[in-house]
Amino acid sequence: MAQLHLFESLLQKCTALSQIKQLQANLTVAGVLPTVAAVRVKLLEVCSLPPISALHHSHLLFSHTSPRTTNDYNALLRGFASSDDPLQALAFYPLLLRSASRPDALSLSFALKAAARLSDLLSSFQLHSQLLRLGFTPDSILLTTLMDSYAKAGELQYAEKVFDEMPKRDAATWNVMLAGLVQGGRPNDAFKLFEQMCSPGSPARPNEVTVIAALSACAQLGAPREGAAAHAYARTQRLDGDVRVRNALIDMYSKCGSVNQAVEVFRSIERPTLVSYNAVIMALALHGRGSEAFCLFKEMVKPAPEEIEPDAVTYLAVLSGCNHAGLVSEGLEIFMSMKISPNIKHYGCIVDLLGRAGRLSEAYDVITSMPLEPDIVLWQTLLGACKTFGDVNMAEIVSKKLAEMGSNGDGDYVLLSNVYAAKERWTEVGRVREEMRSRDVRKVPGFSFVELDGVVHKFLNGDKGHGRWREIYRMLDEIVVKIKAFGYVPETSNVLHDIGEEDKEHALYYHSEKLAMAFGLISTQNGQPIQVIKNLRICGDCHVVAKLISRAYDRVIIVRDRARFHRFEGGVCSCNDYW
């Protein structure tokens, strides 16, 4: 027995395959390996998992083992399921089913883990069937893994059914369901589950993992009230000391429009991690505070006892900050000094940075000379810049490139059409729109929504489907009168149709952003911020109107469009009109 303990102790100290082989030879000579299953299984496990991860050697040892126990199979299953190729676990599992050994709960758990990593619904179904047939349904850990596999495969209804039918649920179980709802795009349901866990008498109390998932749900929703509630719970339960929770708080406050609180949380972290810096730099970038993002990046990379090396996410975040703030020289400086090879997204930032600054030919040169194969998004970015600066010639060149690449997105046609329309070249506009019809390309409609007391109110341009549409339209009429007193003149150049000026003004008044802001004014108390989420870029006229509403009604208005945040306060926007 003492000798066995010695072997196990030596196994734990092995950090290289050469050491494993040496120990294996000694075990074989001593007659331990063929006869003592516990030591053999331990050897298989250590060999299959990090830091050694020599699955080829484990498989060779396994192939020379006879007879094999369930634990022998499990050792390899675990290694395959945790490896870079979890498909090997699902290919290996049937060998266990055909053997004289019987799968146990661990066997199914490792196979389900592989199915979850692969988002393999069919394998999850098959393993669920075996789980029932073998009678493992009371095993809450195994059922939690099954639930996770369904959630990762995008089948939340099956995950919920497993969750509802579980005889006993522990905190892992609840956390997996909550995370599945967040990842599956159901943040409202995720937060409701978090509230259930927080309620008195709940069988499982939230821990750090729960709070992180709840904060992710709030970030998806852009729901500051719920986010603040989750933060308050974490604070009262002393869970907010965990750096992972604080990183999630930075992300949540940023995506709920409260970048100052995001920075405050970051400054409260005694030892910020790389993730902490990435989160706060991206937060500043999204809110147009590029100079601060740039300074924080410089603070991060300065020589220190515990220097933090930037990764691909860091560079993307700081380049985005320079991009949104028009810091062209700073962005180029960072790009040229990158310590890692730039990926396609980094090049995309530089193309956008130059494009927004009107340096279209330089942006074109970046795309055509980069060492990577340009993707469709890069050319679309340049096409957007062509629209901004009315460069018809470049737009036509870029559109041709996109066509050659097989791009058939509505945005390509709409941008080119808008370039022509801005120059009042209506014949070309008609040609582009006819091509869209012939190819059955449909423009994605713009919409905006406001979340109020847990209810999402969605608006389309010219929408009269809301139950309070008459009040909303009356408020819009009032808004127009008020802001005209502040000098508002409708920016009819934003209406890219061959119609009269009066019709253009009318079309502008009922954009979805304006409907959402008017609804916010009639539905919230004076002084309360109004938060609007827009699926596309905010239009130029709506941007002007939002600034004037913030001044005329003394309200903070936060608009989160597909690219960034705009915070309107006192008649100015946080983007400084560079967007």
User: Which phi and psi angles does 342 have, rounded to 5°?
Assistant: -65, 140
117/114 Cα distance (integer angstroms): 5
Do strands 557-560 and 530-534 pair parallel, antiparallel, or not at all (unpaired)?
Answer: parallel
pLDDT bracket for residue 30 (50, 70, 90): confident
Q: Which residue has the higher pLDDT, 17 or 31?
A: 17
Token pair, residue 29, equals: 């000579």
Contacts of 420 (CB under 8 A, 6+ apart): 392, 426, 428, 429, 432
For residue 261, what are the CA distances in angstroms to 106, 264, 282, 546, 565? Answer: 44, 5, 14, 23, 15
Mean pLDDT computed over 460-465 = 90
Shortest CA distance to 312 belongs to which of 281, 353, 288? Answer: 281
Residue 569 β-bridge partners = 572
Please give the pLDDT value at position 232: 96
Please give the pLDDT value at position 499: 42
Please give the pLDDT value at position 493: 55
Contacts of 575 (CB under 8 A, 6+ apart): 288, 324, 564, 566
For the residues of 323-344, what is the DSSP string, one character each?
Answer: HHHT-HHHHHHHHHT-SS---H
Which 8-state DSSP code applies to residue 566?
A: E
Quick check: 262 and 283 in contact, CB under 8 A?
A: yes
- Where do the domains of the chain lie, and which CATH numbers do they carry? 341-444 (1.25.40), 448-573 (no CATH)
Window from 70-84, 130-144, 156-170, 441-455 with minimum mean pLDDT: 441-455
The four Cα atoms 499, 505, 507, 509 give a dihedral, to 10 degrees, of: 180
pLDDT at 535 over 60: yes
Please give the pLDDT value at position 497: 46
Quick check: 20 and 57 in contact, CB under 8 A?
A: yes
pLDDT at 149 over 50: yes
pLDDT bracket for residue 506 (50, 70, 90): low
Please give the pLDDT value at position 222: 84
Please give the pLDDT value at position 505: 60
Please give the pLDDT value at position 71: 94
Quick check: 350 and 332 in contact, CB under 8 A?
A: yes
Q: List the Cα angle 187/190/194 in 5-degree steps.
A: 135
Contacts of 406 (CB under 8 A, 6+ apart): none
Mean pLDDT computed over 357-380 = 93
For residue 184, what are the CA distances in angstroms to 171, 230, 563? Answer: 20, 20, 22
Please give the pLDDT value at position 539: 86
Please give the pLDDT value at position 492: 58
Quick check: 45 and 71 in contact, CB under 8 A?
A: no
Please give the pLDDT value at position 3: 60
Please give the pLDDT value at position 498: 42
Q: What digits encode the pLDDT tens for the residues 94-140?
A: 999 999 999 999 999 999 999 999 999 999 999 999 999 998 888 88
pLDDT at 496 over 50: no
Token pair, residue 258, equals: 């409260």
The residue length of the chain stands at: 579
User: Which phi and psi angles does 383 have, rounded to 5°?
Assistant: -65, -40
Please report, rounded to a whole number, the percentage of residues in the chain having pLDDT higher than 90: 59
108/273 Cα distance (integer angstroms): 36
Quick check: 557 and 517 in contact, CB under 8 A?
A: yes
Please give the pLDDT value at position 500: 44
